[in-house]
Structure 1
Amino acid sequence: MSNVHQFNSKDLILEKSCEWISAIDRGLTDDEKEQFKLWMMQSTAHQDSIYELAQLWDELSVLNELSHLFPQRNNTKATKNKWMFSYSIAASLFAALMVCSYLLINLENGYNQELAKVNYTKIYKTKVGEQATYVLPDGTIVQLNTNSLLEVAYSKGRRQLLLSRGEGRFNVAKDATRPFSVMAGDKSFTALGTVFNVQRNTSSDLELVVTEGKVMITDPSVAVDANDFKDYQLADNSTQKIRQINANIVTSGEKVVIEQSVTKPITQLSMNDVQRDLAWQNGMLIFNGEELSDALNEVSRYTATRFELSTAELASIKVAGVFKAGDVEGLLESLQTNFSIDHERLGEHVVTLKHHTES
């Protein structure tokens, strides 16, 4: 997330640091540990703030250790200096705790509800076969498909997300002052007032479908700020500014496939094509002439079951139909009824398929 520039108000950073210190004191969950690492990596100011607060606690521990090493010091001046030093540290700690308490009270009173829209980090993920919908603080709606991992980092100047695996649909809340970008593999997708779907197959193999507005595809190194945002909104693929940054603009009803980091020509989708590509958003899978091997690979995204095909001829059979995502038994029954394809289970998660006539 090297392109994320965090909103570095000292008060905001101190407030967040107080929250983390409190969470660390009670013990972090695994999810919180990942979120904490992400937050610490975003700025040296975050790291400094955490360590400064932590050192206040550490220095009190040091004083206790010194009292054991040098008990009953008779030097009045040394005693006075030690008392003054101890008092200074205690006062600093008290002041820090008072600030934390004040900030946390304000948080409880709703002080941070608006700030959360500006400065926000969180990790969202789904398990195999799971789909989930989330509403981000700015009102953006994110729907994650099976086995997906999404990291969100909002700052004052931008809204940046990292899709580490899987697939997501993004219904983006409009905010011209903070561009919204999803980075997946070696491409970045910037919304220009948009609803769009990104599928990450590998870091270099991606798919984009735009159902509303426009999306600009760039390399992750291209930073889109508010000053350029309006220009990009009005641009198309013939605009010089777009060509200069080697970008592609994809509009509503269009799809782009990226293979081995190469952006293929933009294709126009019919309504049926859109429904088929995005059927997962309704928990369904639609096939319309795909090879059986490709269809089974898609089914496998939603289940732990893996399929083995007996022949290359079987793998190339064209299939069509509507299936519930993850419904392996329904798929096997349909293959047997419509294509005379038998199946055999080898253990809990492996299914072999063969023609009914094969022995």
Structure 2
Amino acid sequence: MSNVHPFTSKNVILENACTWVSAIDRGLSNEEKEQFKLWMLQSAAHQDAVYEIAQLWDELSVLNELSILFPQHNSANHSKSKWVVPYSIAASLFAALMVCSYLLVNLENDFGKELAKVNYTKIYQTKVGEQATYVLPDGTIVQLNTNSMLEVAYSKGRRQLLLNKGEGRFNVAKDASRPFSVMAGDKSFTALGTVFNVQRNTSSDLELVVTEGKVMITDPSVAVDANDFKAYQLADNSTQKIRQINANIVTSGEKAVIEQSITKPITQLSVDDVQRDLAWQNGMLIFNGEQLGDALNEVSRYTATRFELSSAELAKIKVAGVFRAGDVAGLLESLQTNFSIDHERLGEHVVSLKYQTKS
């Protein structure tokens, strides 16, 4: 695993366990219940994550209630916690765990039926300021950023996704018999055993960051089937087959920027670069010398607020800092404190920025 990958497998499992519990708390559709069942059956670690979180409420008799609901589950096997969970997260999940518990009954009976489902289609969406994580039927984990739309279409020989807008992180389950490709705008990104992030700015302006394995960038008309998959896995940018289809191979720790449908030279990223580009996956935005105008454009992706700058000079100020995505108040306070930039609200969703008037 690449040393630039900012997440551990335990963190991913815990993240998805929390996401499912949150979804259960609001109420699952029948289709979501089926997906949840499949996720639970993919690994004992998934089930352990739920019960290890419940360990935090030992004094609140949560484990006792779970043992009544599920007498077949041996809670003694979890006497020593394997997961480190912040208490603030755990506390918020107490009620949700009680709601989701009934869904775990008789999961084994449905396992064969779930595995038999080969074809799968669904549309996933997030609103402005919303981020969500989904587990697809093959075990692939998709994390969508703010204001994103993803169409998923699985068939017997292919896993095809379409990123209509926004940004997504894809932790792809290995399946050489069904290549995994994400189309965004006029490019297609084929996973060659990998974890990667795709951001679609426009149909011709895209960004790809690979944190594990390889990704091949091609024209959407290039179809990758199981017969070609192994050859592509072993290829690099000098391979004749890659050059014949005008493709680019991007490997772990590298970034590809596509502007006006042209793939710029691939760049190697430092660990800090990767963490900054992918900070959204942890609900944060990191700036390190970006111009204020560009930084505000990024902030605006996570909120309905728009910013008006009083001058071009103001827009070129270089800023640095760590902000929670959507925290407009925190950003405005920081600009005032560190750069003497005042703000004025011109309506519910418009903020005017200008240098502080000297008294």
Q: Is 1:273 aligned to 2:294, yes or no?
A: no
Distance, in Å, in 2 between the alignment partners of 1:215 and 1:138 is 19
Q: Is 1:113 aligned to 2:114, yes or no?
A: yes
User: What are the superposed Cα offsets for residues 50-109 of structure 1, whole Å, 9 maximum, x if unpaired?
Assistant: xxxxxxxxxxxxxxxxxxxxxxxxxxxxxxxxxxxxxxxxxxxxxxxxxxxxxxxxxx95
Aligned to 1:189: 189
Aligned to 2:318: 318
Aligned to 1:25: none
Distance, in Å, in 2 between the alignment partners of 1:226 and 1:305 is 46
Give the structure with higher Rg (CA). 1
Indicate the RMSD between aligned Cα atoms, in angstroms. 1.7
Distance, in Å, in 2 between the alignment partners of 1:258 and 1:193 is 22
Distance, in Å, in 2 between the alignment partners of 1:111 and 1:264 is 46
* CA shift for structure 1 position 198: 0.1
Q: Secondary structure at the match of 1:298?
A: helix
Q: Secondary structure at the match of 1:241?
A: helix
* CA shift for structure 1 position 110: 5.2
Distance, in Å, in 2 between the alignment partners of 1:165 and 1:226 is 28
State the aligned residue count: 254
1:49-128 equivalent positions in 2, closer than 5 A: 109=110, 112-116=113-117, 118-128=118-128
1:11-22 equivalent positions in 2, closer than 5 A: none
Distance, in Å, in 2 between the alignment partners of 1:166 and 1:318 is 25
Q: Secondary structure at the match of 1:313?
A: helix
Distance, in Å, in 1 between the alignment partners of 2:268 and 2:165 is 26
* CA shift for structure 1 position 345: 0.1
Q: What amino acid is the match of 1:147?
A: N
Q: Secondary structure at the match of 1:331?
A: helix
Aligned to 1:355: 355
Q: Secondary structure at the match of 1:165?
A: strand
Aligned to 2:238: 238
* CA shift for structure 1 position 237: 0.1
Q: Is 1:137 aligned to 2:137, yes or no?
A: yes
Distance, in Å, in 2 between the alignment partners of 1:227 and 1:346 is 59
* CA shift for structure 1 position 114: 1.2
* CA shift for structure 1 position 112: 3.4
Aligned to 2:226: 226
Q: Secondary structure at the match of 1:290?
A: strand
Distance, in Å, in 2 between the alignment partners of 1:345 and 1:281 is 29
Q: Secondary structure at the match of 1:307?
A: strand
Distance, in Å, in 2 between the alignment partners of 1:226 and 1:303 is 42
Distance, in Å, in 1 between the alignment partners of 2:127 and 2:135 is 19
* CA shift for structure 1 position 358: 7.2
* CA shift for structure 1 position 171: 0.2
User: What are the superposed Cα offsets for residues 231-290 of structure 1, whole Å, 9 maximum, x if unpaired?
Assistant: 000000000000000000000000000000000000000000000000000000000000
* CA shift for structure 1 position 357: 2.6
Distance, in Å, in 1 between the alignment partners of 2:241 and 2:127 is 41
Q: What amino acid is the match of 1:112?
A: K
Aligned to 2:146: 146
Q: What amino acid is the match of 1:297?
A: N
- Decide whether aligned partners of structure 1 residues 358 and 129 sit closer, same or farther in structure 2, where only a CA change above 3 A counts: farther
Q: What amino acid is the match of 1:148?
A: S
Distance, in Å, in 2 between the alignment partners of 1:274 and 1:253 is 7
Aligned to 2:336: 336
Percentage of matched positions with identical amino acids? 88
Aligned to 2:295: 295
Distance, in Å, in 2 between the alignment partners of 1:358 and 1:202 is 41
User: What are the superposed Cα offsets for residues 8-34 of structure 1, whole Å, 9 maximum, x if unpaired?
Assistant: xxxxxxxxxxxxxxxxxxxxx9x9xxx
Aligned to 2:14: none
Unmatched runs of 5 consecutive residues or more in structure 2: 1-28, 32-108
Distance, in Å, in 2 between the alignment partners of 1:240 and 1:226 is 19
Q: What amino acid is the match of 1:319?
A: V
* CA shift for structure 1 position 351: 0.1
Q: What amino acid is the match of 1:208?
A: L
Q: What amino acid is the match of 1:265?
A: P
* CA shift for structure 1 position 111: 5.1
Q: Secondary structure at the match of 1:297?
A: helix
Aligned to 2:251: 251
- Decide whether aligned partners of structure 1 residues 310 and 110 sit closer, same or farther in structure 2, where only a CA change above 3 A counts: same
User: What are the superposed Cα offsets for residues 153-187 of structure 1, whole Å, 9 maximum, x if unpaired?
Assistant: 00000100000000000000000000000000000
Runs of 4+ in 1 over 3 A off after TM superposition: 108-112
Distance, in Å, in 1 between the alignment partners of 2:176 and 2:358 is 62
